[in-house]
Amino acid sequence: MVTQIAEINIKEGANEAFEQGVAKAVPIVMQAEGCHGISLNRSVEFPLRYRVMVRWESVDHHLVKFRASEGFAQWRALVGPYFDGIPSVEHVVDVPLPQ
Amino acid sequence: MVTQIAEINIKEGANEAFEQGVAKAVPIVMQAEGCHGISLNRSVEFPLRYRVMVRWESVDHHLVKFRASEGFAQWRALVGPYFDGIPSVEHVVDVPLPQ
């Protein structure tokens, strides 16, 4: 399992519209093959910066299968208009820690 | 509640030592006032890049109280030797999404 971290900067004044766009896109992303969850956070220090985190079975489920799907086009149509620049995308794996 | 995201690049060959240092530091960080959890992930694209994510009751619990504490000195002693450069630190808040 990997977590996609998409760091997205949005246009001034677009916070509400962007957050609503992500909320509308949740069922679309969740239907994608190999998708196991999506979350959204907003930076305290940079209020126009968000991170969308999506759990995938593998990097290829995201970059190969999802990116080529109709779901990705729908996602971009819902949230892309609010982007300020191109999001940066990285994938991470959990490192187990004692709790 | 906020999540601290510390992006840490480490020195070549130090992955195992760094991960063990973070594991040792977990009880120290968890004892800090206002700390509600810690997790660690490693980048797939950049294997020397980690993100430590810590849940805090507020930004001040991290930047004011923890940073001034003995616990922070212990944390830095355990993991600081493996840093390659100064970590970047940001705080984020969750944006609720329908699931």
Q: What local confidence, expressed as pLDDT, does residue B99 receive?
A: 74
| Buried/exposed B33-48: b ≥16 CB within 10 Å, e otherwise | eebeebbbbbbbeeeb
Per-residue pLDDT tens over the stretch B77-94: 999 999 999 999 999 999
Chain A environment of B39 (Cβ under 8 Å): 94, 97
How many CB pairs below 8 Å do chains A and B form together?
82
What element of type H or E holds A49? strand A49-56
Closest in B26, B39, B92 to A44, CB measured: B92
What element of type H or E holds B21? helix B15-30
Q: What local confidence, expressed as pLDDT, does residue B67 receive?
A: 96
Q: Is A40–B98 a contact, with Cβ atoms under 8 angstroms apart?
A: no
Per-residue pLDDT tens over the stretch B13-71: 999 999 999 999 999 999 999 999 999 999 999 999 999 999 999 999 999 999 999 99
Query: Touching check for B57 and chain A: CB below 8 Å?
Result: no
Closest in A43, A90, A93 to B92, CB measured: A43
At residue A99 the predicted structure's pLDDT band, cuts being 50, 70 and 90, is: confident
Q: Is B43–A90 a contact, with Cβ atoms under 8 angstroms apart?
A: yes
Per-residue pLDDT tens over the stretch B62-75: 999 999 999 999 99
Supply the pTM of this predicted model: 0.96
Exposed/middle/buried for residue B64 (C-beta within 10 Å: 0-12, 13-18, 19+): exposed
The whole-number average pLDDT for the span A13-19 is: 98
